Structure 1
């Protein structure tokens, strides 16, 4: 049922979240309010005692998290805000180029709330932007339909599709201008962000990919110092970057197409340069550029929490480490010591 009061609250929250003068670090109350709106408008219910993995799908290309887990991801508030802001900026850029028709946004892995798109549907008219919502779980799509109807946004949605995005074939008359997805963990572990991005970018190479890039870097990090760091401080974190080990972006996807078909994607070779100061250790950190200046960096989100290199390799000081990325049921970064 359409609720005018909730529609107005959604518009107000969207305006606050998009305002660049509002620090993302101070907007958790607004994201919690947004989550409350999503929860009651979606009619999404779950037994709090059940495991968050209940309802997840293990595909041939990685793990599709459960609708419950997808709903909980909205609480990762900096991530949520940055994706909304980044998608907003990507849409504006396309609108400045295309004026003869609505911009088409394909939102992959929309979950039960379509949290990155629904706020923006209150900002852009249906004649400016049309959204296709796609998810592998029918339960999520049932909930997102409730959200769309509750906020009277059906005119902004051109299609709702229940399928595995890794195998999705884009119709010739439905090429997206923007492809947005967040189906990943830090270091691109387990979830199918890489495979799905490849499938869709190859079919729609002129589309803007959101996030624009996901970079994994090897760095020497003092986590004790970092934990004492104030997120809004201008002082630098205790990081000494040794090099980029792997990157997912539109350009890297198109470059992979030039290489022989394989379930292993080649990354970079990085040397662990010593000596390592006391308190530092080699770690892998994930940097997510949503769109241009809209980024998720160190510790801003579960997506960007550094992982010790020791979980991937027993490499020592002054050794070279060759990185690659293995596709399949459990896609993951691989690190091997080389000469």
Structure 2
């Protein structure tokens, strides 16, 4: 699909890239490198465990507060992130350990150097930390038996869990024993995780495993599953494959974070949606969505809902050669839309982490709408691609989810 792709690609790559990460946090790495150079020249060691714990607890206090400004969050994230980056750099991992990325049977395995930036995704971390605190509060009142928390594909910093565990340990918040299993397939991530866990004083309750999530078989049921292994539009990474594998090990009353993921299909004009809507914003966030531009969208409706109930009901359609499909929803393309040929199909994820906390559209990189450039509605592209799907008003789009090394949604004409 040639006519609209240049607009999307020009925004999604290069100097104009739209990001939910605050620009001041994105610049931390350069400053951290300068600080590391200065310390080496002076013969100083990297920041102490006490400083890391202090930054971690202050961050969690801010995240759990009933009110906090974005500027306050940026300040606390900056301190915590810089401490973690300094720790990461002090390990002096090999180039293979930091830069190696690849695709396996379930999806993309990110390079460690790319995964370190997830700690700066403020509103993703905030929603999960607050939801996990709510979960631990609820679990504390239910029983006194030990809890098993599993966080697969957690990356080098496990940012959705470790900050709260540090805070809980310092304040001796809960009586119910908690065992935590962190899993990542990257050896470099395991090395960093072990150092972070030790620096936070959590080594007695946290186990770090370096393995493929699909090979994990716990010795005790999983009471809390914290999982976020996806990119926008529930694409690229193995989130759904991991959930299907781990579901068999969940305790009867297990907690799942996020509790539910909803994928919606939208038709929008890319120039309006991705360019004009953000040209005066330094970052993206749901609170910055332009009401007029939002009203111009054509909302086709939800195509996929992922929670514990739907997970149990999924029917797999094996296609062979490592490709399986899961049937998703169907939507109708409206008739007689004047600018339909200018619109593209977007798939947008909303994460309901628990009943109170969510990661809404544009709050995080994982909730930016994903453009499917293969769907051509009411026009035929001048430069066609092998996977172009020619659609016209009145057609019905049927979606399937691909379980393979390139996971994501496959639209078809019903």
Query: Measured at CA, do residues 204 and 81 of structure 1 come closer, stay the same or move farther in structure 2, by a change above 3 Å?
Result: same
The aligned residue for residue 413 of structure 2 is 337
Task: Give the structure 1 partner of residue 149 of structure 2.
Answer: 105
Please point out which of 197, 214, 217 is paired with 2:264. Answer: 217
Which residue of structure 1 aligns with residue 401 of structure 2? Answer: 325
**In the alignment, structure 1 residue 16 sits paired with structure 2 residue 16:** no
Secondary structure of the 2:233 match is: helix
Higher helix residue share: 2
For structure 2, which runs of at least 5 residues remain unmatched after alignment?
A: 1-46, 319-323, 376-388
Q: Which SS does the other structure have where 2:222 is aligned?
A: coil
The counterpart of 1:148, out of the listed 197, 210, 215, is 197
Q: Is the 8 A contact 2:344 2:373 kept in 1?
A: no
For 1:21-170, what aligned pairs fall within 5 Å after superposition?
A: 21-23=67-69, 27-42=73-88, 43-45=90-92, 54-98=99-143, 100-125=144-169, 127-128=175-176, 129-157=178-206, 159-170=207-218
User: d(CA) in 2 for partners of 1:267 and 1:62?
Assistant: 19
8 Å contact from structure 2 (residues 150, 181) kept in 1: yes
5+ residue gaps in structure 1?
Answer: none
Change (3 A) 1:54 1:311: farther
Counterpart among 266, 274, 277 of residue 327 in structure 2: 266
Q: Is the 8 A contact 1:214 1:287 kept in 2?
A: yes
2:287 to 232, 236, 249: 232
1:46 shift after superposition: 6.4
The answer to whether the Cα contact below 8 Å between 2:277 and 2:289 also exists between their aligned partners in 1 is no
For the 8 Å contact 1:202–1:254, the answer to whether it is kept is no
Structure 1 stretch 224-233 or stretch 136-145: which is displaced more? Answer: 224-233
1:218 and 1:242 in contact (8 A); partners too? yes
| CA distance, structure 1, for counterparts of residue 134 and residue 255 of structure 2 | 11
The structure with the larger Rg is 2
Moved more, 222-231 or 76-85: 222-231
Q: Secondary structure at the match of 2:350?
A: strand
Instruction: Please list, as runs of the form range in 1=range in 2, the aligned pairs for 1:239-318 lying within 5 A after superposition.
Output: 239-256=297-314, 259=315, 262=318, 263-276=324-337, 278=339, 281-312=344-375, 313-318=389-394
1:52 to 1:325, Cα distance in 2 relative to 1, 3 A: farther
In the other structure, the counterpart of 1:208 is 255
Kept after mapping to 1: 8 A contact 2:93/2:188:
no
8 Å Cα contact 1:2-1:149 kept in structure 2: no
1:205 Cα offset (Å): 5.2
- Name the SS of the counterpart of 2:413 in structure 1: strand
Structure 1 pair 277–86 and aligned structure 2 pair: CA distance change class (3 A) = farther
**Number of aligned positions between the proteins:** 330
Deviation, 1:335, is 0.1
Give the superposition deviation at 1:36: 1.1
**1:85-139 CA deviation, whole Å, 9 max, x = no partner?**
22222222222222x1332211111211121222111232475333111111121
Structure 1 residue 285 displacement after superposition: 1.2
Deviations 1:303-336 (A, max 9, x none): 1111234335443322100000111121221000
* Stretch moving more, 196-205 or 273-282: 273-282
CA–CA distance in structure 2, aligned partners of residues 293 and 51 of structure 1: 41
Q: Deviations over 1:131-185 (max 9, x none)?
A: 111111121111111111112222331x2211111231122xx212111121111
> Residue 220 of structure 1 contacts residue 276 of structure 1 at CA under 8 Å; is this kept in 2?
no
Residues 400 and 409 in structure 2, CA contact (< 8 A), matched pair in contact too: yes
Cα gap change, 1:130/1:170 in structure 2, threshold over 3 Å: closer, same or farther? closer
- TM-score, normalised with respect to structure 2: 0.72
For 1:307 and 1:235, locate their aligned partners in 2 and report how far apart those are by CA, in whole Å. Answer: 18
Distance 1:190 1:318, change over 3 A: same
Of residues 163, 179, 185 in structure 1, which corresponds to 2:225? 179
Normalised TM-score (structure 1): 0.87
Are the equivalent residues in 1 in contact too, given 2:140–2:175 (CA < 8 A)? no
